[in-house]
Amino acid sequence: MPRHVTEASALEGDTIIGVPFEPQLPLRSLLHDQSGPDSQNGDEFSQRLFKIRSADSSGQRSSASILINRMYAGRGYQTTALSETQLPTRITLVASEHEETIGTITIGFDSPAGLHVDDPFGAEIQALRDAGQKICEFTRLAMDSVVRSRRVLASLFHVAYIYAHRMMGFDSLLIEVNPRHVRYYEKMLGFHVLGTQRLNRRVNAQSVLMCLDFSFAHEQIDKLAGQPELAPASHSLYPQFFSVSEEASIVGRLMRTQPDAVYLHALAAGPARGAAPH
């Protein structure tokens, strides 16, 4: 059963979308400026809800850093804190429940400053640039081990995709993953291996470079998104994504509320000249 969007004017202005943990319940989001016939009130909004936000405040970024450090340190990885403010070529998203951060992901847009994945996969990354690909990376993915919700992961990933592909026009996504997790990303999201196992010096652990063609993700969203009942049979994360109509509404809201999008797109048009600062 497709999920549908309803207005929730009570949510904060920095909330991109509010999502119920239960897939059969309607979404809450700030996608409309005025109340309409689909607006709902009362008990229907008492559902357990998490919110996706851009981590613009120092408090949100500190909370995201704490989650990243806790989850990475538990696996023996090194970490560094997020910068106190959003950098022009990076956007950090957070998922929160009752103001507690339960998930986070950072989008990095290619620019003359380069990407984190340039080290240690510089040759592979440069080959993509030379081929005319507009590339970006997702980094610092962390999910609270208590929550362990595919719905939270799918929502974070989808909003990050919306920023990178729908708003900014990037073609390909790059990630570095633990070698043990390669199969998961291949099966659940359609990534393929681009660079063999090497040392990621930022976390002091072995990593594999993987790539996702956003055109493939677009096709899967058109076919599967907004239909969580298909998840078991499809062995894919895409059924947990927002529906096509919900995605379009999110794009419209972000276009109205993100004045830096055009600047970022222009900045990302130039080739990188080196690895991004750590």
> Quick check: is 216 in a domain?
yes
> Quick check: is 163 in a domain?
yes
- Domain holding 216: CATH number? 3.40.630.30
The residue range of the domain holding 206 is 55-268
**pLDDT of res. 38:** 39
Give the distance from CA 181 to its chain's centroid: 17
Find the helix or strand (DSSP H, E) in which 273 lies. none
**pLDDT of res. 276:** 54
Q: pLDDT by residue for the chain (278 residues), tens digit each?
A: 344 443 333 345 678 998 988 765 555 443 333 333 333 344 444 578 899 999 989 999 999 999 999 999 989 999 999 988 878 899 999 999 988 999 999 999 999 999 999 999 999 999 999 999 999 999 999 999 887 789 999 999 999 999 999 999 999 999 999 999 999 999 999 999 999 999 999 999 999 999 999 999 999 999 999 999 999 999 999 999 999 999 999 998 888 877 565 555 555 445 554 555 44
Distance CA 156, CA 150 (A): 10
> Quick check: is 122 in a domain?
yes
Helix or strand or coil: residue 102?
A: strand
Contact criterion met (CB below 8 Å) for 137 and 108 = yes
> Quick check: is 169 in a domain?
yes
What six digits make up the tokens of 101? 């951060």
Residue 133 dihedral angles phi and psi, to the nearest 5°:
-75, 140
> Quick check: is 264 in a domain?
yes
Contact criterion met (CB below 8 Å) for 117 and 208 = no
Of 192, 221, 226, 220, the closest CA to residue 208 belongs to 192
**pLDDT of res. 30:** 38
Contact criterion met (CB below 8 Å) for 67 and 141 = no
> Quick check: is 262 in a domain?
yes
Helix or strand or coil: residue 155?
A: helix
Quote the pTM value. 0.84
> Quick check: is 24 in a domain?
no
Contact criterion met (CB below 8 Å) for 107 and 93 = yes
Contact criterion met (CB below 8 Å) for 203 and 78 = yes
Residue with tokens 């969580």, as numbered in its chain: 228
> Quick check: is 16 in a domain?
no
Cite the beta strand spans of the chain per DSSP E: 5-7, 15-20, 27-29, 49-54, 90-97, 100-109, 135-143, 172-177, 192-200, 205-213
Domain count of the fold of the chain? 1
What six digits make up the tokens of 14? 């920095």
